[in-house]
Structure 1
Amino acid sequence: MRGLDFVAFDVETANSRRGSVCAIGVAVVRDGRIAGTHSWLCRPPEPLDHFEPHNIAIHGITPDHVAGEPSFRHRLGEALDVIGDQPVVAHNAAFDTAAVREGCDAEGLMWPTLRYGCTLVWSRRELKGLANHRLPTVAEALDVPLERHHEAAADAEVCAGILVKLAGQRGIRTVEDFATATGTRLGFVGTDTWQGCRTVSGGRGGGGGFREELTVPTVNTAADPDHPLCGGVVVVTGSLSVSRQRVWDLAAECGATPNKDVTKRSTHLVVGDGFTGDLSAGFTTGKVAKALRRREKGQRLEILTEEEFTALVTGQRKPSVPGVDPSASM
């Protein structure tokens, strides 16, 4: 597939802090084919360098494995030399790019300049009907071999294979054209700014982002009163695989009232940007922070991933049990 050139990227972390990078992997794609892979272990930035058992159980990397390895600063430089000016692609790029930014902050480095796409965002748009859109599930659906999950270079190679398959299905030859065809835009990291890979809707707004002009839908007064969203107030934060207007419309159809911000009336907060439900990993936005403060004060407010919201809408997921933190089992 001549012209499909990019570098897939993946990181593994030592603990729940995203910047605690202990491994970096890349897969270089030229003309739609894997041209090479690179895998580096590194010592996480010193303020974030402790290893937690949960993370070790996932990827098998221990403090002894990285003790004699170069620092994150050094390994990131090697990865950036390989990337050059090519677009970067990751599966759940919101996590991997946040890891780079936080790691740079911990090391006192300027953020690198990257254009990036997200195969999690794109697979949600292109592959309907999957139970979830995690890397193993998407790889299996597209017949992309996955042999060493959570080895950074292996995961980067699988991510690369996913984009090659998705682009091939559309007959598209560049990452930029694929983003346009799927109604998304590439994310960007710069010296002091970043924006996510997300759905493009509406015109360009302030701060270099895209502002989606929302129309408040009419709440369905004939909705099933037993539906878990009926009578609720739904708020959205972050980028999703569908437009925010679509989420508002679905909520209203179920009898809920969409709202732009978290208030004392809010009952559900839908979180995008690849959020998987793990609030312990330092994942936060202004609205998430507000929601957590209100929950601490006793307000019942459920924080949902995009997939959990979809499952509630379709009746495939029951609401959380009263008094139980919905994030605890995610």
Structure 2
Amino acid sequence: MTGLLPAPRPPLEGAIGSVAGGLDFVAIDVETANARRGSICSIGAAVVRDGVVVSTHSWLTRPPAGLDHFDGINISLHGITPGMVADQPSFADRLDQLLELSGGLPLVAHNAAFDIAALREACVAVDREWPTTDYACSLIMARRALDLISYRLPMVAAECGVDLAAHHEAGSDALACAHVVLEIARRRGADNLGALLAGLQVLTGRLEAAAWAGCRGTSTYAGPQLPDVAADADPEHPLYGQVMVFTGALSIRRQDAWEAVARCGAVVEKGVNKRTTMLVVGDGFTGHDPADFWTGKAAKAVLWRERGHRIEVLTEGDLVDLLAETRTSGVRDAVLA
């Protein structure tokens, strides 16, 4: 998907830098071969200059050695097979291409915690320093700017009037992410990425050679703090302070899921009510339409939303991604340990 749009301006010299300029950024997406985040098999990018997408890119890549097996569930999502990447450039080569393309611009991804963690783990796997970059997350922006029942990319794109041509094709997802950010900026009247993030009370993430700090909201959940919140939970974790209800079967024991979210500072309740902020739908649910949420608890969530209460619906995959972010900052030594 390269070359469909006018060529970008020459990249700036130096490391990827500040978000203080105009609406200039590079939206990215990565797809992985298996459950390991560093098993990157595809990278997509959409370059935005002065609020306009000027080029799009979609690259296949060989995952780092040791992380290069392909799981069937991943293949079913993105359609990429071992044979398709066998003769493709290595991750290290593709990372060089991305950094050359992105020189001087911040990165943005939908659920940047996943994509940036994938880059970190893949760099460790190929014994390479992490690149230096500021980054932001369109999922966090959407949670602040929009009132939706789910903030997965297809639903956010639909709300923003953005065409998502092929979900889980890296170039398509990156392009949709770029347009989502541009639409949120338009609605908020922001003419640069820094002003947009400040207005949404979102802190820029930062990745450096030996440390990282995640993109996150500047204020934590201010709802009722019920007694089951873990005392040592990270208050910056996206699940901290959430009141969560589960419905349907999960691939892990329900008790294990309850304990996992409690360690992140969430409160688990058995029924949906006006305190509920998140509903996790199991049974392999992957739909996009609230009408497809067929359980009684899901129906109650829709009803409470109609009454003006914000409740977000998560799939099990969404929950797994959130639980994987056990820390909101860290150093490379901790990853290597």
Return the TM-score normalized by structure 1.
Answer: 0.68
Aligned partner of 1:261 among 215, 228, 232? 232
Q: Does 1:89 align with 2:108?
A: yes
Aligned partner of 1:35 among 54, 73, 86? 54
**Structure 1: distance between partners of 2:317 and 2:200:** 34
**Structure 1: distance between partners of 2:87 and 2:212:** 33
Alignment match, 2:224: 250
**Structure 1: distance between partners of 2:50 and 2:277:** 43
Give 1:251 deviation, angstroms: 3.2
8 Å contact kept, 2:229–2:267 = no
Q: Does 1:168 align with 2:168?
A: no
Give 1:258 deviation, angstroms: 3.6
Aligned partner of 1:157 among 175, 180, 189? 175
SS of corresponding position for 2:149:
coil
Q: In structure 2, do the counterparts of structure 1 residues 36 and 317 end up closer, same or farther at CA, with 3 Å as the change threshold?
A: closer
Give per-residue Cα distances to partners, 1:210-251, cap 9 Å, x unaligned: xxxxxxxxxxxxxxxxxxxxxxxxxxxxxxxxx14x1xx323
**Percent same amino acid at aligned positions?**
42
Alignment match, 1:134: 152
Alignment match, 1:44: 63
1:189 partner letter: L
Q: Does 1:114 align with 2:110?
A: no
Give 1:98 deviation, angstroms: 0.2
SS of corresponding position for 1:314:
coil
8 Å contact kept, 1:132–1:307 = no
Structure 1 runs of 4+ with >4 Å offset: 304-312, 315-320, 326-330
8 Å contact kept, 1:45–1:106 = yes
Alignment match, 1:314: 276
Give 1:85 deviation, angstroms: 1.2
Residues 1-330 of structure 1: pairs in structure 2 closer than 5 A: 3-128=22-147, 130-201=148-219, 243-244=220-221, 246=222, 249-252=223-226, 256-261=227-232, 271=239, 301=259, 303=261, 313-314=275-276, 317=279
1:137 partner letter: M
Give 1:46 deviation, angstroms: 0.3
Give 1:89 deviation, angstroms: 0.5
8 Å contact kept, 2:229–2:266 = no
| Higher RCO by CA contacts (8 Å cutoff, separation 6 or greater) | 2
8 Å contact kept, 1:270–1:306 = no
Alignment match, 2:294: none
SS of corresponding position for 1:27:
strand
Q: How many residues align?
A: 247
**Structure 1: distance between partners of 2:197 and 2:42:** 28
Q: In structure 2, do the counterparts of structure 1 residues 73 and 309 end up closer, same or farther at CA, with 3 Å as the change threshold?
A: farther
Give per-residue Cα distances to partners, 1:151-172, cap 9 Å, x unaligned: 1111000000000000011111
8 Å contact kept, 1:185–1:198 = yes
SS of corresponding position for 1:48:
coil
**Structure 2: distance between partners of 1:30 and 1:309:** 44
Give 1:303 deviation, angstroms: 2.4
Gaps of 5+ in 1: 202-242, 263-268, 273-291, 321-325
**Structure 2: distance between partners of 1:60 and 1:329:** 20
8 Å contact kept, 1:89–1:118 = yes
**Structure 2: distance between partners of 1:189 and 1:139:** 27
SS of corresponding position for 1:271:
coil
Give 1:328 deviation, angstroms: 9.6
2:86 partner letter: A
2:23 partner letter: L
**Structure 2: distance between partners of 1:173 and 1:154:** 24
**Structure 1: distance between partners of 2:266 and 2:99:** 33
Give 1:309 deviation, angstroms: 6.7
